[in-house]
Amino acid sequence: MKSQKKTSLLLFSLGMQLERVDHCFPQLNLSCRKPDPPHSGAVLIYILLAFISLLTAALNLLVIISISHFRQLHTPTNLLLLSLAVSDFLVGLVVMPVEILLTKTCWILGDLMCVLYYMIPGILITASTGNIVLISVDRYLAICDPLHYPTKLTLKVATICLLLCWIYSFVYIIIIMNENLKQPGKYISCYGECVVNITGAADIAVSFIIPITVIIVLYMRVFVVALSQARAMRSHIATVSLKHCKTVKVKKSEIKAARTLGVLVVVYLMCYCPYYCVSLSGQNILLGSSVVGFMIFLIYFNSCLNPIIYAIFYPWFKKTIRLIVTLQILQPGSREAQIL
């Protein structure tokens, strides 16, 4: 009897040890279980996500180099695109890879580092939204007030606006993460997971409703004015003078830029709406949960689509890519190349 009892106790002890090995922190009672290893289908998905991350960083780096290097591209509009490309580049270089790596692993850096980690994509996403709003304002001024546009939006004004946009993004994320910063780990169910909560009516209004309303209203106004200008051009094309033709050509370029950035805004809405629609439904958004993972990565995927839009609609981007890939930008005087 004693030998059977010892055997059963030994088997029970071994079973407990094996069970604890499957936990993130075997020494803690409230430890999370280790995620199961990814199956073959999941591995293919991770490879695809890694490729998207690499493509996002590479394409946005090309945009950054193009606008920064070639002097002819140093315009207020392109400066706004440069700021958007910087935030998208950081998403592809930092946020996406870490997000992929943490999908099937235990969080071992502690609760405070978890909150600080989620502040990074929060700052970048908020900055991207601010950049889209500034781009909308830029197109509104260029189309609806073309005579005063060169004096209203100079490079200096655009730089100040972008600086304020990034400062605002940093301060805003600290404010909405305040509860998580005061009580790190408040929303975790077990040790080894990284979850924060940013649900709130104020966050939805400031991060989504107000920016989207501003963007839609401005672009509705832009396209109404652009359409009326296009009709006026067609009706007077036979009687315009040579001088007036040059003015019309400028207006056409501005209208084309407005349409391109309109596509940028539509893609932005398609990528961001699913996440914020769930927020508007009143459900808690627990960052780090598998349910929200797809919507979050859809937001990140927007960072990959933006430079693709540039490549499709901006001839100057195609030209600069060729110059960069062929290393012609290393030649003396390449900054003064005629791109436009």
pLDDT tens for each residue of 126-142: 898 899 899 889 888 88
- What was the pLDDT predicted at 242? 40
The per-residue pLDDT for 159 is 94
**Candidates 3.30.930.10, 3.40.50.2300, 1.20.1070.10, 3.30.365.10; CATH matching 38-336:** 1.20.1070.10
Give dist(CA 28, CA 20) in Å, integer: 9
Q: How confident is the model at residue 10 (pLDDT cuts 50, 70, 90)?
A: very low
pLDDT 10s digits, 246-292:
444 445 666 666 677 678 778 888 888 877 777 676 655 555 555 56
- Provide the mean pLDDT of the chain: 78
pLDDT band, very low/low/confident/very high, at 156 (cuts 50, 70, 90): very high
Distance between CA atoms of residues 224 and 229, nearest Å = 9
pLDDT at residue 17, as a whole number: 44
- Assess contact for 167 and 127: CB atoms under 8 A: no
Alpha-helical regions (H) of 237-332: 242-280, 290-313, 315-325
**Amino acid code (one letter) for 224:** V
Q: Identify the weakest region by mean pLDDT among 6-20, 180-194, 268-282, 297-311.
A: 6-20
Radius of gyration of the chain (CA): 26
Look at residue 74 and tell me whether its pLDDT is greater than 60.
Answer: yes
Q: How far apart are alpha carbons 142 and 149 in whole angstroms?
A: 6
Burial of 129 (0-12, 13-18, 19+ CB in 10 A): buried
**Stretch 166-189: mean pLDDT:** 86
* Low-confidence winner among 11-20, 42-51, 162-171 (lowest mean pLDDT): 11-20
Which of 231, 23, 253, 51 has its CA nearest to residue 139? 253
Q: Give CA 280 to chain center in angstroms.
A: 20
User: Could you give the percent of the chain with pLDDT greater than 70?
Assistant: 75
pLDDT at 269: 82
